[in-house]
Amino acid sequence: MPHDLILRPRVTVAALIERDGLFLLVEEHTADGLRLNQPAGHLEAGESPEQGVAREALEETGRAFVPQGLVGLYLSRTRRGAQQGDADVSYLRLAFFGTASAADSDRSLDEGIVRTLWMDIDALRASVGRHRSPLVLRCVEDYLRGQRYPLELISTDPSVF
């Protein structure tokens, strides 16, 4: 197996949106079936991580997300099935916490997103088998432990834009 697949992770951003002890999740179609995830996706060319997480949250939930800080950086590895070339893939996830607006009922959700739902920590723990990755619960647990970093930790050079 080529090491470059493991050594060069794909960068993703995720939004942790908590309201009154409930966390906003999306239920989405994946190659592994219907899964739960935070609003999340790949960072795109020409955007900062903060812009990327705001875009992904809006596309997947119909809510404007304002990142307030960083929960953490998470490196994970997954083995994709035969349909996707049976390759190992690594991901670097930047997990942000912040606030979100009410859902815009006129906005359609991203392709593959079935619905949004609010779950408390007990429901999240009970549904681990349906999580898109182990990072779903890990990020929430870190957030609940008070792990929070200022946005100033992230610096995007103007050359990105």
pLDDT tens for 27-49 read 999 988 999 999 999 999 999 99
CB 51 within 8 A of CB 147: no
CB 36 within 8 A of CB 25: yes
| Range 4-148: architecture per CATH | Alpha-Beta Complex (3.90)
Q: Does the predicted model carry a pTM greater than 0.85?
A: yes
CB 10 within 8 A of CB 41: no
| Cα gap 13→43, rounded to integer Å | 6
Task: Look at residues 94, 35, 22, 28 and name the one whose alpha carbon lies nearest to residue 59.
Answer: 28
Question: Would you state the pLDDT for residue 78?
Answer: 82
Residue 105: which residues within 8 A CB-CB, separation 6 or more? 62
Residue 18: which residues within 8 A CB-CB, separation 6 or more? 24, 97, 143
Confidence at 7, pLDDT banded by 50, 70, 90: low
Is pLDDT of 134 > 80? yes
Question: Would you state the pLDDT for residue 5?
Answer: 47
Which tens digit of pLDDT belongs to each residue from 72-107? Answer: 999 998 876 545 555 788 899 999 999 999 999 999
User: Max alpha carbon distance in the chain (Å)?
Assistant: 46
Boundaries of every domain in the chain: 4-148
| Cα gap 89→12, rounded to integer Å | 12
